[in-house]
């Protein structure tokens, strides 16, 4: 059984790495830090991570319900492979079209009078990419027995995710224009590497799924 510290660090590492590719939320946090100061940007990031933690918790409950029904286990694993393949495809598309949608959103939010905590909550709530991202990674952790269907595991995992997201945003907030400019120059490479990692992970999991015999009584 993995320790709670291991689960916490795993969630933090996945979340931190997932926050580094340039996107609407982290670039907006950096822009806020430059134009409005560090405090509004930190409140914005807090709103983002609160919604993300809620989404992760809901996805964990859904997966626990599915995994208690043996006939759905292979379906869940198949969905995990599809999800990771889609994440890989999204990363490769982002590499081919860097910064395609961020500008319009940033321009609209920069003149908005909405409190930055609420801005972070609203933008994070309508961001659909985090749902398949965490569904795929959490399923993989369940499969590897790193994460178990226990509240203490869930709490450690979610707290790690929150800190990872906040730390990732802090890189952009305190780096300001320097990090945005530097990462923008290499963003296609970053997204390509992340897409490659997702693609290899999906291929490995697909190979294991195909080779594994169907065992209705196999524990989840």
How many CA atoms within 13 Å lie on the side-chain side of 196?
Answer: 7
Whole-structure pTM value: 0.67
Helix (H) or strand (E) holding 15: helix 4-19
Q: Which tens digits make up the pLDDT trace of 121-174? A: 988 887 766 777 787 788 888 888 888 888 899 999 999 999 999 999 998 888
Q: Which tens digits make up the pLDDT trace of 17-33? A: 888 876 778 878 887 88
Domain boundaries along the sequence of the chain = 4-211
Q: Using 50, 70 and 90 to split pLDDT, how confident is the model at 104?
A: very low
Please name which of 8, 37, 39, 44 lies closest in space to residue 162, comparing C-alpha atoms: 8
Q: Please measure the distance between the N-terminal and C-terminal CA atoms of the chain and give it in whole angstroms.
A: 15
How many CA atoms within 13 Å lie on the side-chain side of 150?
Answer: 12
């Amino acid at each position: 059984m993995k320790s709670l510290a291991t689960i916490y660090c795993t969630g933090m590492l996945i979340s931190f790495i997932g926050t580094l590719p340039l996107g609407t939320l982290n670039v907006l946090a950096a822009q806020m830090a430059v134009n409005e100061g560090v405090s509004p940007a930190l409140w914005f990031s807090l709103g983002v991570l609160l919604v993300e933690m809620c989404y992760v918790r809901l996805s964990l409950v859904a997966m626990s319900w599915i995994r208690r029904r043996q006939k759905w286990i292979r379906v869940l694993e198949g969905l995990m492979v599809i999800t990771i393949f889609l994440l890989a495809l999204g990363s490769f598309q982002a590499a081919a079209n860097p910064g395609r949608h961020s500008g319009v959103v940033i321009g609209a939010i920069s003149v908005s009078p909405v409190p930055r905590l609420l801005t972070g909550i609203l933008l994070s709530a309508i961001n659909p990419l985090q749902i398949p991202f965490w569904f795929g990674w959490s399923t993989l952790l369940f499969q590897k027995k790193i994460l178990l269907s226990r509240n203490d595991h869930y709490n450690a995992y979610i707290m790690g995710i929150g800190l990872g997201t906040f730390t990732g945003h802090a890189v952009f907030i305190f780096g300001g224009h320097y990090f945005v400019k530097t990462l923008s120059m290499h963003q296609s490479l970053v997204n390509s590497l992340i897409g490659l990692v997702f693609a290899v992970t999906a291929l490995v999991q697909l190979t294991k799924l195909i080779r594994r015999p169907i065992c209705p009584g196999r524990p989840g």
